[in-house]
C-alpha cells in the first residue's frame, strides 16, 4: 500500500509538470501567432486550452483523493496542498496564453504589434516559455536552487514590461490609442504569466523546506 501511495504522490507531480509543459507550448505558439499574424496557430492555442483545464481538474481530483483516503502529513501534506494551489497557477498561465492568442485572432488579418515593440514581445514570449519549462523541471526534481533562479528570470520579464511602457509613452509614438491598449494588455498577460510560474516554484520551495517564501510583488 505504501508503494501505491508514493506512486500516487509522484503521479500528482507528473500531472503538474505536464501542465507546465502544456502552458509553455501554449505561450510559445500564442507568441508565434501574435508575431507572425498566424490565425491557424491562434486557433490551435484557443482550442487546446480545454486540455489544460482538464489537466487542472485531474490534478485537483488526485490531490483531494489523497487528502481523503491517505490523510498525508508533514512533507506529503505539503505536496498535496501545494499541488492544489499550483494547479490553479498553471491553469491561469494557460488562460493568459489563451488571451494572447485571442488578441491575435481578434485583430486578424491585421498585425497587433507595430514594429517598435515586436522585439520586446518576442523576448517576452521566449522568457515566459522558458520559465514554464523550468517550473516543470523544478516540480520534477524539487531543486530549490533552480527554483530560486525563476526569480531572476521574472526580473527579466519585468524589465521588458517596463521598456514597453517607455515606448508607448514616448513622444514619437504614432499608432494611436487602440494599438496602445492592445499592447498594454498583452504586456500584462506576459508579466502575470511569469508571476504565476514563480508562484509554482515557490510552492516547491515550501514543499522541500516547510517555509513559504515571501509574497510576490505585483
54 contact partners, CB below 8 Å, separation of at least 6: none
**Percent of the residues in the chain that have a pLDDT greater than 70, as a whole number:** 97
In which band, very low, low, confident or very high, does the pLDDT at 218 lie, cut at 50, 70 and 90?
very low
In which band, very low, low, confident or very high, does the pLDDT at 217 lie, cut at 50, 70 and 90?
very low
Question: What is d(CA 114, CA 118) in angstroms, rounded to the nearest whole number?
Answer: 7
Residue 217 located in a structural domain: no
Residue 216 located in a structural domain: no
Residue 80 located in a structural domain: yes
- Cell numbers representing residue 135 in the block: 517550473
Residue 191 located in a structural domain: yes
Residue 65 located in a structural domain: yes
Residue 182 located in a structural domain: yes
The residue-averaged pLDDT of 87-92 equals: 97
Residue 214 located in a structural domain: no
Q: Containing domain of residue 75, as a range?
A: 2-209
In which band, very low, low, confident or very high, does the pLDDT at 2 lie, cut at 50, 70 and 90?
low
CB of 18 within 8 A of CB of 33?
no
Residue 215 located in a structural domain: no
CATH number of domain containing 135: 1.20.58.220
What is the count of structural domains for the chain? Answer: 1
Q: Is the pTM of this model over 0.85?
A: yes
Amino acid at each position: 500500500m505504501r508503494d501505491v501511495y508514493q506512486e500516487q504522490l509522484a503521479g500528482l507531480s507528473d500531472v503538474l509538470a505536464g501542465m507546465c509543459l502544456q502552458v509553455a507550448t501554449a505561450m510559445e505558439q500564442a507568441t508565434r501567432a501574435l508575431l507572425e499574424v498566424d490565425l491557424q496557430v491562434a486557433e490551435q492555442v484557443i482550442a487546446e486550452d480545454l486540455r489544460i483545464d482538464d489537466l487542472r481538474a485531474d490534478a485537483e481530483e488526485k490531490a483531494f483523493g489523497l487528502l481523503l483516503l491517505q490523510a498525508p502529513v508533514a512533507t506529503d501534506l505539503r505536496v498535496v496542498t501545494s499541488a492544489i494551489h499550483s494547479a490553479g497557477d498553471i491553469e491561469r498561465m494557460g488562460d493568459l496564453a489563451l488571451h494572447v492568442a485571442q488578441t491575435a485572432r481578434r485583430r486578424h488579418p491585421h498585425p497587433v504589434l507595430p514594429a517598435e515593440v515586436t522585439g520586446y514581445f518576442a523576448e517576452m514570449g521566449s522568457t515566459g516559455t522558458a520559465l514554464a519549462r523550468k517550473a516543470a523541471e523544478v516540480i520534477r526534481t524539487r531543486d530549490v536552487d533552480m527554483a530560486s533562479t525563476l526569480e531572476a528570470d521574472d526580473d527579466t520579464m519585468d524589465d521588458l514590461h517596463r521598456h514597453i511602457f517607455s515606448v508607448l509613452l514616448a513622444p514619437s509614438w504614432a499608432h494611436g490609442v487602440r494599438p496602445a491598449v492592445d499592447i498594454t494588455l498583452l504586456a500584462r498577460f506576459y508579466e502575470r504569466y511569469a508571476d504565476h510560474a514563480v508562484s509554482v516554484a515557490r510552492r516547491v520551495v515550501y514543499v522541500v523546506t516547510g517555509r513559504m517564501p515571501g509574497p510576490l510583488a505585483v
